[in-house]
Structure 1
């Protein structure tokens, strides 16, 4: 989970990936729209497979806490 960062001044304080301006929601939206993990990686070469797995783990953890 250290790949997911929260910075008050970045993306409105939304959780982002490794301090980048790519939010957890951005990646989840892409995946839920039918993009494959490889499609996301192709669109954002600064991301890694581990980043996408961290996004999914973060979302699962948030859902579990509700």
Structure 2
């Protein structure tokens, strides 16, 4: 980690200040969810043609950085 995060934008007037991709109305959270829902990138890009590989990489890195110091309990199955 440690590369520049120039594609993640936070603007209080866009999506209630949630972190977004390149000032689009596409949140980092939605990108991470979409990566999980569409394991094949072709499907992901069909659903979100505005996304680029670097957008996805930075969204995943941003999410990982923000989870780094959190302990999240999972329910036992």
* TM-score normalised according to structure 2 size: 0.75
1:6-25: CA deviation from partner (whole Å, max 9, x where unpaired): 01011111000000000001
User: Alignment partner for residue 7 of structure 1, among 7, 11, 19?
Assistant: 11
- CA RMSD in angstroms comes to 1.3
Question: Structure 1 segments of 4 or more deviating over 3 A?
Answer: none
Structure having the larger proportion of residues in helix:
1
Matched, 1:38 2:34: no
2: CA distance, partners of 1:38 / 1:53: 16
Q: Which runs of 5+ in 1 are unaligned?
A: none
Q: Is the 8 A contact 1:27 1:40 kept in 2?
A: no
* TM-score normalised according to structure 1 size: 0.85
Q: Which runs of 5+ in 2 are unaligned?
A: 71-77
